[in-house]
Amino acid sequence: MGDLPVVLGGTSLRAGKAWPRWPQWDAAERAGLLGVLESGDWWTGAGTEAAAFATEMAHFHDARYGLAVTNGTHALEAALVACGVGAGDEVIVPALTFVATATAVLAAKATPVVVDIDPDSLCIDVDAAEAAITPRTRAIIAVHVAGAACDLDALTDLCTRRSVQLVEDCAHAHGTRWRGRGVGGFGSFGTFSFQASKLMTAGEGGAIVTNDDTLRARAQSYINCGRVEGEHWYHHATYGTNLRMTEWQGAVLRAQLARFPEQHRVRNDNARLLDGAIAEIPGLRPQGQDARMDSQGRYCYVFHYDAREFASLPLDAFEAALAAEGVVHDVSYPSLSRLALFRHESYARTWSVPRAERAASSTVWLEHRMLLAPSDDVLDIARAAARIHAHAGAVAREAADRRAC
Ligand SMILES: *Cc1c(COP(=O)(O)O)cnc(C)c1O
């Protein structure tokens, strides 16, 4: 066989071929940065870039209002505080997410209650969320994992019936649409991140979107030192802090948003192609997608891995074999239930979330920049996986030998 995997001495399919880099920028970001520099208006109190970006971001997702903040973690914190979440309250969060979804609850002085996920889409299990509601529950944070929309029909219905606020953590889901509407505006708030790995970036940054004017004003006050719009500059009515974005970030993000629709289209087209190719390989299955989602922001390309179809090759050894082929992978988040943070005495909690724990050790997370390559390059990902599958027995023996050393 001339098609040996690289880990068994074969030649990489990707030899001499590079993936697109991330982040991407051009003269638009440069002009934006220079414009801010030369205006002398470097903070949001003086300039207009961050505020204009936040409004453009909100409108792009069909929400009325947008606020620009320091990062996605602070966006969640401000959204929760503006929802009235505070000491003694509980906030329901899914187990398979970045730690910030839970630590933002702690920052709002409330208690995260971690619930299990749907094993196919990896998003919050709405029945598990309902079962976890207590008289102290103030909000549910729904994370659109790797851009796959949560069941927003069921979540909005649940939150209305039980008088709980819905916050969408859209840190992975720039551009995701549910039944024709952008995510972020289905509940009280949606939050976005513009950290370096995300689908739009200024290195760091965050945004909050909402359709509710009262909630907008509360969040605006919290991120701007407790100020009240229309009142004296040093009138501070409630506790707030400084979570303002800089004008530099605003200018860069306006350029990133202008470029986004075309990148989003390319990623969606390539991901659909890759879904078909991945689904043909025994033991691999693309992340589940609800048919009501029209379009998916692809923070990562995720697929399920069943080691039984790969001669029991452990997930990390499969990922290493893929990496040797030149496929750039990330790793799954661990389930929140496994974090040392939640074993610490002041936060110690135990949650039963077996599906999230299983998903964390049976899903492959690939970097989104590969989806910006020409389609035939993107199919190299499936070719590499197919190669490893065809030689799974030998790859598994090699991995076991290496481990035994
Ligand atoms: C990145 C991320 C955040 C936090 O965003 P930062 O800008 O890094 O603070 C929150 N939730 C999820 C799901 C994320 O991936």
Q: Where are the alpha helices (DSSP H) in 176-314?
A: 213-223, 247-279
Contacts of 161 (CB under 8 A, 6+ apart): none
State the CB neighbour count (10 A cutoff) for residue 315.
Answer: 18
Q: Where in the chain is the domain with CATH 3.90.1150.10?
A: 260-404
Would you say how long the chain is, in residues? 405
- Which amino acid is it at 15? A
How is residue 196 written in tokens?
A: 């370096």
Cβ atoms of 289 and 394 closer than 8 Å = no
CA distances from 297 to 237, 268, 289 (A): 38, 8, 12
Ligand 1 neighbour 210 (Cβ under 6 A) = no
Ligand 1 neighbour 201 (Cβ under 6 A) = no
pLDDT of residue 1: 46
Q: Is 397 a catalytic residue?
A: no
What architecture does CATH give domain 260-404?
Alpha-Beta Complex (3.90)
Contacts of 160 (CB under 8 A, 6+ apart): none
Answer whether the bond into residue 23 is a cis peptide, omega within 30°: yes
N- to C-terminal Cα separation, the chain: 28
Query: What radius of gyration, in Å, describes the C-alpha atoms of the chain?
Result: 22
CA of 73 to the centre of ligand 1 (A): 6
**Order of strands across the sheet with 284-286?**
284-286, 300-305, 363-367
| Range 54-87 burial, b when 16+ CB lie within 10 A, else e | bbbbbebbbbebbbbbbbbbbbbbbbbbbbebee
Distance CA 234, CA 223 (A): 15
CA distances from 146 to 160, 197, 364 (A): 26, 12, 11
Do the strands 206-210 and 65-69 form a parallel or antiparallel pair, or are they unpaired?
antiparallel
The residue from 61, 244, 355, 387 that is catalytic is 244
The separation between CA 340 and the C-alpha centre of its own chain, rounded to angstroms, equals: 22
Place of tokens 């200018």: 251
For 332, half-sphere exposure in the C-beta direction (CA atoms, 13 angstrom radius) is 25
Q: Is 116 a catalytic residue?
A: no
Q: Where in the chain is the domain with CATH 3.40.640.10?
A: 27-255
The separation between CA 164 and the C-alpha centre of its own chain, rounded to angstroms, equals: 23
pLDDT, one tens digit for every residue, the chain (405 residues)? 458 999 999 999 899 999 999 999 999 999 999 999 999 999 999 999 999 999 999 999 999 999 999 999 999 999 999 999 999 999 999 999 999 999 999 999 999 999 999 999 999 999 999 999 999 999 999 999 999 999 999 999 999 999 999 999 999 999 999 999 999 999 999 999 999 999 999 999 999 999 999 999 999 999 999 999 899 999 998 999 999 999 999 999 999 999 999 999 999 999 999 999 999 999 999 999 999 999 999 999 999 999 999 999 999 999 999 999 999 999 999 999 999 999 887 787 889 999 999 999 999 999 999 999 999 999 999 999 999 999 999 999 999 998 887
User: Among residues 120, 386, 133, 134, which one has the least CA distance to residue 274?
Assistant: 386
Q: Which helix (H) or strand (E) holds 363?
A: strand 363-367
- Which amino acid is it at 400? A
Cβ atoms of 222 and 241 closer than 8 Å = yes
CA of 100 to the centre of ligand 1 (A): 6
Distance CA 149, CA 291 (A): 10
CA of 170 to the centre of ligand 1 (A): 9
Which CATH class, in words, describes the domain spanning 27-255? Answer: alpha beta
Distance CA 255, CA 250 (A): 9
Cβ atoms of 293 and 149 closer than 8 Å = yes
Q: Is 391 a catalytic residue?
A: no
Contacts of 112 (CB under 8 A, 6+ apart): 90, 91, 92, 93, 101, 102, 105, 106, 336, 349
CA of 343 to the centre of ligand 1 (A): 22
Ligand 1 neighbour 103 (Cβ under 6 A) = no
pTM for the whole structure: 0.97
Distance CA 183, CA 382 (A): 29
Cα dihedral 133→135→136→142 (10° resolution): 30
Distance CA 220, CA 377 (A): 44
Q: Is 234 a catalytic residue?
A: yes
Q: Is 227 a catalytic residue?
A: yes
Distance CA 94, CA 128 (A): 9
**Which residue's alpha carbon is nearest to atom 6 within ligand 1?**
72
| Range 186-195 burial, b when 16+ CB lie within 10 A, else e | bbbbbbbbbb
